[in-house]
A and B are shown apart, each in its own frame.
Chain A
Amino acid sequence: MPQQITVHDPRGYAPKVVGKRLAPRLSALDGKTVYLVDCLFDNTDVFIEQLRQWFAEHLPAVNTRIARPEKTWSDDEKMRAAIAADGDAAILAVGL
């Protein structure tokens, strides 16, 4: 019978997952302001504009506003604060 051997696990250590509660959901979107956040990758402005148009055509009672962070790949605190102050919900486009 072939010999059994013990070897190390080569993986690193994952960080602890610390839960955050999700923001309250809306019961309906009519009359609400939904921010569409562009992640600023190539062509995402075109995608976000199509998303805005989809809302305008299918859910015209929803107010949509497009927001953009100051820089690509950054957490723009000012933008987040503005959305929290003026918006009821946000759709964050991430990746590409």
Chain B
Amino acid sequence: MPRLRQAYTPHPVVDQSAAHLRGYIEGNDAISGRPFMQEVLEGLTSPLEDADITGLSFERTTPRFVEPDTEEKLQRLFEENRWTDMLPIVLPTEERVAAMLKGTSHPPDKIVGRLRPTVFREAWEFDVEKVAVNAVMAGARPEYLPVILALASSGVTARSSSTTSFATIPVINGPIRNELAMNTGIGVMGPYNHANATIGRAYGLLSQNLQGGSVPNETYMGSQGNWYAYTAVIPEAEERSPWQPLHVQQGYKPTDSIANLFFGGWYTHAGYGPRATWKEKMRHALAAVEQYSPPLFVMDPIVARGFVELGFDTKEKLIAWLADNALLTAREYWDNQSIQLLRPKAVAGIEPYASRLKAAPDDVIKIYEPSEIHIVVAGGETQGAWKMISGALRGTASIDAWR
């Protein structure tokens, strides 16, 4: 929109008083430095130019290769262009990319999908070769490529530019976990497995490069950023879980290899047990969440078996209890910043938001539907540990489709 008339206030608008916002209006445009309202009024009344009437149409091409140079200078070029995560990358030479492409049966020019940093922005397109390039950069091996292609095909970016600093956490299920020797045990969420580490990193790199960037103050506005964005992949410990794996809960066959993408990473709560006071612990944890982003529970097999002993012999039973006990007063719920995004739905009569809005301020309301809460089992059984991580299920992709 190069010809569109635009005027910019400073950030943020949220949580600012009316007087503060009036200051934005009476102050200067955050980009041009000229008076904000002068920009607005000129935008409405200044005569159009020829280019405004014809409109600008143009192509933007991306070359297949960058100009040849030395390894040292190319590393610097990739960093300066913000094509990396600021850690050294493996340079995507022709030979390395060709080798990576052997990890899939799909042709290099097949379109994989489209990604964008926010719903307001244009989506960029990419093919198998471009995904392979980013997989090489992350240090991934060719056999990982179907997983990386599945993540790329999901339409869910790992580089959201929300000011609230999301990350996207994939959960991997099915035989592919064992084929790639992914770690579901000790240190599953730490830097202890090549496939876990590089698949998550590849997903981040491909997201930023294939969607048109993730550059602070341009295509990335997350105020605090998110550590999960470096790399985050959770393969479920299906063989050591007393419950159905996530993809079987969803109706897939155990022999299907599936990636589920959880958009969140805002909060991480921790607990152990289940101990005698587990109900209180869970209620406190659920009441403390940023309620716009529902919880993804990651439970060590010890914890999962403990819940089975308490009568929760399916994930669904425990999820139902969690949904019944994720409670807040309506006043607290509706005071949340991000929950304001749901208010129009509530006003329009869409449930369950409409009932939550009708509640009196001190009425206690349920804040999640069972369908919004997920549990995966992972961990090395050295501790009965669980994590509750912010994560809304935003996409599901078949890994087998990209073999």
A residues sitting closer than 8 Å to B (CB atoms) are 2-22, 24-29, 34, 40-44, 46-47, 49-51, 53-54, 58, 68-73, 89, 91, 94-96
Q: Are A4 and B37 in contact (CB under 8 A)?
A: no
B residues sitting closer than 8 Å to A (CB atoms) are 2-5, 9, 11-18, 21-22, 24-26, 37, 40-41, 44-48, 52-66, 68-72, 74, 78, 83, 91-94, 97, 115, 119-120, 122-127, 129-130, 133-134, 136-137, 163, 205, 209-212, 337-338, 340-341, 343-345, 348
Pick the residue among B11, B93, B209 that contacts A12 (CB under 8 A).
B209
Q: Are A22 and B48 in contact (CB under 8 A)?
A: yes
Q: Are B57 and A24 in contact (CB under 8 A)?
A: no
A4 to B77, CA, bound (A): 14
Q: Are A12 and B52 in contact (CB under 8 A)?
A: no
Q: Are A15 and B120 in contact (CB under 8 A)?
A: no
The contact sample of 6 A-B pairs, CB cut-off 8 A, is A11-B210, A20-B55, A40-B341, A42-B13, A72-B341, A89-B44
Q: Are B56 and A25 in contact (CB under 8 A)?
A: no
Per DSSP, chain A at the interface is: loop
Per DSSP, chain B at the interface is: mixed
Q: Are A12 and B14 in contact (CB under 8 A)?
A: no
Which of A12, A40, A44, A68 has the largest count of B CB atoms less than 10 A from its CB? A12
Pick the residue among A7, A24, A73, A91 that contacts B48 (CB under 8 A).
A24
A54 to B340, CA, bound (A): 25
Using Cβ atoms and an 8 Å threshold, which residues of chain A touch B55? Answer: 18-22
A96 to B14, CA, bound (A): 7
Using Cβ atoms and an 8 Å threshold, which residues of chain B touch A16? Answer: 57-60
Pick the residue among A29, A43, A50, A94 that contacts B45 (CB under 8 A).
A29
Q: Are A14 and B14 in contact (CB under 8 A)?
A: no
Which of A18, A34, A42 has the largest count of B CB atoms less than 10 A from its CB? A42
Using Cβ atoms and an 8 Å threshold, which residues of chain B touch A41? Answer: 13-14, 340-341
Q: Are B44 and A26 in contact (CB under 8 A)?
A: yes
Q: Are A70 and B344 in contact (CB under 8 A)?
A: yes
Beyond A10-B130, A21-B52, list 18 extra A-B contacts (CB 8 Å): A2-B71, A8-B64, A8-B93, A8-B130, A9-B62, A9-B133, A11-B130, A12-B124, A12-B130, A13-B61, A14-B62, A14-B124, A18-B57, A22-B48, A42-B14, A43-B13, A44-B13, A53-B22
Using Cβ atoms and an 8 Å threshold, which residues of chain B touch A43? Answer: 13-16, 21, 340
> Closest CB of chain B to A57's CB: distance in Å?
10
